Amino acid sequence: MNTQTPTHEILDALIIGAGFSGLYQLYRLREKLGLSVKVMEAGDGVGGTWYWNRYPGARCDSESHVYCYTFSKELTEDWNWSERYPGPGEIVAYLNHVTDRFDLRRSIEFGARVAGARFDEENNCWDVELASGKHYRARFLITAVGCISSANIPDIEGLDSFAGEWFHTGQWPHDGVSFDGKRVGQIGTGSTGIQAAPVIAETASHLTVFQRTANYSVPARNRALTDEDRMTHKRDASIIRELTRGNTNGHGWRISEQNALETSPEDRKLIYEKAWETGGLKFRSSFADLLASKQANETAASFIKEKIRQIVKNPETAASLADIDHPYAAKRPPIDTHYFETFNKDNVTLVDLAKTPISKINRDGLVCQDIGANGSFLEILHQLDTIVFATGYDAITGTLLRMDIRGRDELTLREAWSSGPRNHLGLQVDGFPNLFMVTGPGSPSVLTNMPAAIEQHVEWISECIAYMLEHEHTTIESPGASAEWWVKEVNDAANATLLPKVKHSWYLGANVPGKPRVFMPYAGGLDRYRDICQQVANDSYRGFVFDR
Ligand code: NA7
């Protein structure tokens, strides 16, 4: 990073990112604490993840009435969601509404990509450098960069030689992509691929879905909301708020207290059928023991696999789609609109990469390898006009580590996390004073309905800064021992579940070659996490050190 003396503004706080986290953090620090704050946003508009993710079929998996802020009654009153699950257009419109309602835009610099930040030990402030070369100085630096904003584009030989077009779902052109009459290849069958395939198949002349790992999915059952739905959500807003704050997952429901293994097979089937009809992520809350016991999980897994075999008419395709190698919901469980039904269309083919792995891309398309009966390799060319990479993200740490962040003694975040992310409560890293992370690694983040986790983090950080102002503290940081304790808590929480028991999962960083294989989110539940953070604050920020 260029260390030229910064000449620009000196702020109380600089926030990176203008999505759900950054906007609320700006509001809390500027409006409630009266601080001088600026948000640096790489995009040309607000929205964060949703600003970039405009791929076909993109839709939030949280229900709209909980995928929103709860801090302002007036805001809840004056916004009307149109569907059970909001799409990117509506979420971005909501965030623009919030931005204007609270006059936030004047504190946001758009097209401002942060290249790096260095802690100036002499002046106890952060020197932040933008890609443009511009500098800012700020006492507090808050990353609000989201968890899935760095695209993971696999390094497949020959991509440069491909004569057609290719796109990653997380960097989708804002003016759309036409698939009319095109032979489209989609790589990836995570939440994104499962949403995209049915929509791409509507207009493509042919869609080939390349599946590396078969995946579970439950129908989303999206629908238009009625006036009555909206009235109920507004009337019950405070009850819903308490519910999302007081449960493990931040959604608007509780996990059943009943165990699958203590329920008769007949009753269990009825419960799963009902959950399948209701649709959505709530399916995973059908029983208390689904993520704790392999045997219990197997009951949900085999129910869904049976549904796949019933829906998909071609037995070979059905077998590949249902050949799932991990426990249900041990990876992020997708929800869909006619995903499995899509494979009954004449213009859709599944390629099972477990049988014929990708070997390269050439001018004409994607080449897979088949092993002949005599052990010889055969090449199969899938001719394509367009390739869609629905291959996910360098999640949770990727965006943080792409910036050159340096703490005390020029220690880079990349060095500090060379064996995986280490921090205290998912909020602060040893050696990086006055740097806070919203929904970073070690916090419940992606295991929850994100706005619920975001509000908790933003409120905790804001209260911590208010405490520092009141007590005239200049810096706050967390010593290594605190990180050691918290990393153990994070590992223990994950190991009490089936979550680490998968081959490729972005929760584990295992989807990105070379990334340390460490379970990153805190799996102990948002309610428990909230309590721990509150106890730490009540105890004068136990485990943190002021004015070292
Ligand atoms: P995911 O869940 O990481 O899914 C990525 C998919 O791409 C998954 O099926 C991967 O297979 C596949 N993939 C990744 N790399 C390759 C290569 N090299 N070859 C073939 N297939 C590959 O990302 P999503 O965008 O779907 O979802 C991310 C989150 O966004 C989601 O959970 C929601 O929170 C919203 P794998 O399973 O790793 O074998």
Q: pLDDT tens digits, residue range 62-110?
A: 999 999 999 999 999 999 999 999 999 999 999 999 999 999 999 999 9
**Residue located nearest, by CA, to atom 4 of ligand 1:** 190
Q: What value, to the nearest 5°, has the Cα angle with vertex 422 and ends 510 and 410?
A: 110
Q: pLDDT tens digits, residue range 325-357?
A: 999 999 999 999 999 999 999 999 999 999 999
**Residue located nearest, by CA, to atom 33 of ligand 1:** 191
With bands split at pLDDT 50, 70 and 90, how would you rate the model's confidence at 373? confident
Distance CA 508, CA 501 (A): 10
Per-residue model confidence (pLDDT) at position 5: 41
Distance CA 117, CA 434 (A): 12
Q: What value, to the nearest 5°, has the Cα angle with vertex 24 and ends 22 and 25?
A: 60
**Residue located nearest, by CA, to atom 14 of ligand 1:** 391
**Residue located nearest, by CA, to atom 10 of ligand 1:** 188
Per-residue model confidence (pLDDT) at position 513: 87
Neighbours of 499 (CB within 10 A): 22
d(CA 387, ligand 1 centre) in Å? 15
In 3D space, the residue among 375, 261, 334, 391 whose CA is nearest the CA of residue 61 turns out to be 334
d(CA 27, ligand 1 centre) in Å? 34
Atom of ligand 1 nearest to the CA of 334: 32
**Residue located nearest, by CA, to atom 29 of ligand 1:** 191
Neighbours of 150 (CB within 10 A): 21
Atom of ligand 1 nearest to the CA of 511: 38
Flag whether pLDDT at 416 surpasses 90.
yes
d(CA 210, ligand 1 centre) in Å? 11
Flag whether pLDDT at 374 surpasses 90.
no
Flag whether pLDDT at 510 surpasses 90.
no
d(CA 190, ligand 1 centre) in Å? 4
Distance CA 420, CA 213 (A): 25
In 3D space, the residue among 182, 166, 145 whose CA is nearest the CA of residue 437 turns out to be 145
Question: What is the best residue among 147, 148, 212, 449 to mutate for testing ligand 1's pocket, by most ligand atoms within 8 Å of CB?
Answer: 212
d(CA 191, ligand 1 centre) in Å? 7
Give counts: helices (H), strands (E), the chain: 16, 20
* In contact, 240 and 76? CB cutoff 8 Å: no
Domain boundaries, the chain: 8-150+394-474, 159-215+337-389, 255-330
Those residues with Cβ within 8 angstroms of residue 119's Cβ, 6 or more apart along the chain or in another chain: 125, 126, 127, 406, 407, 408, 432, 433, 434, 435
Q: Which residues surround ligand 1 with Cβ inside 6 Å?
A: 148, 154, 187-193, 212-213, 332, 353, 358, 390-393, 446, 504, 506, 511
Domain 8-150+394-474 identical in fold to domain 159-215+337-389: yes
Question: What is the best residue among 511, 515, 520 to mutate for testing ligand 1's pocket, by most ligand atoms within 8 Å of CB?
Answer: 511
Neighbours of 4 (CB within 10 A): 10
Question: What is the best residue among 389, 391, 448 to mutate for testing ligand 1's pocket, by most ligand atoms within 8 Å of CB?
Answer: 391
In 3D space, the residue among 228, 302, 292 whose CA is nearest the CA of residue 272 turns out to be 302
Average pLDDT score over residue span 187-210:
98
Q: pLDDT tens digits, residue range 300-311?
A: 999 999 999 999
State the chain's mean pLDDT as an integer.
96
Distance CA 515, CA 509 (A): 6
**Residue located nearest, by CA, to atom 15 of ligand 1:** 391
CATH number attached to the domain at 159-215+337-389: 3.50.50.60
Q: How is residue 510 written in tokens?
A: 């295992």
Those residues with Cβ within 8 angstroms of residue 340's Cβ, 6 or more apart along the chain or in another chain: 217, 307, 308, 311, 312, 321
Q: How is residue 58 written in tokens?
A: 């993109």
Q: How is residue 471 written in tokens?
A: 């007590």
Residue 96, phi then psi, degrees to nearest 5: -65, -40
Distance CA 152, CA 440 (A): 18
d(CA 75, ligand 1 centre) in Å? 35
In 3D space, the residue among 239, 219, 338 whose CA is nearest the CA of residue 281 turns out to be 219
Tokens 């008769």 label which residue? 264
Beta bridge partners of residue 434, listed in sequence order = none
CA 299 to chain centre: 27
d(CA 53, ligand 1 centre) in Å? 14
CA 135 to chain centre: 29
Q: Which of helix, strand or coil describes residue 48? A: coil
Of all residues in the chain, the percent with pLDDT exceeding 70 is: 98
With bands split at pLDDT 50, 70 and 90, how would you rate the model's confidence at 3? very low
In 3D space, the residue among 390, 359, 497 whose CA is nearest the CA of residue 166 turns out to be 390
With bands split at pLDDT 50, 70 and 90, how would you rate the model's confidence at 372? confident
d(CA 392, ligand 1 centre) in Å? 4
- Burial (CB count within 10 angstroms: exposed 0-12, middle 13-18, buried 19+), residue 265: exposed
d(CA 188, ligand 1 centre) in Å? 5
Q: How is residue 256 written in tokens?
A: 């059943």
Per-residue model confidence (pLDDT) at position 4: 46
d(CA 390, ligand 1 centre) in Å? 6
Distance CA 500, CA 523 (A): 10
* In contact, 494 and 519? CB cutoff 8 Å: yes
Q: pLDDT tens digits, residue range 378-402?
A: 999 999 999 999 999 999 999 999 9
The fourth-level CATH superfamily of domain 8-150+394-474 is FAD/NAD(P)-binding domain (3.50.50.60)
d(CA 63, ligand 1 centre) in Å? 22
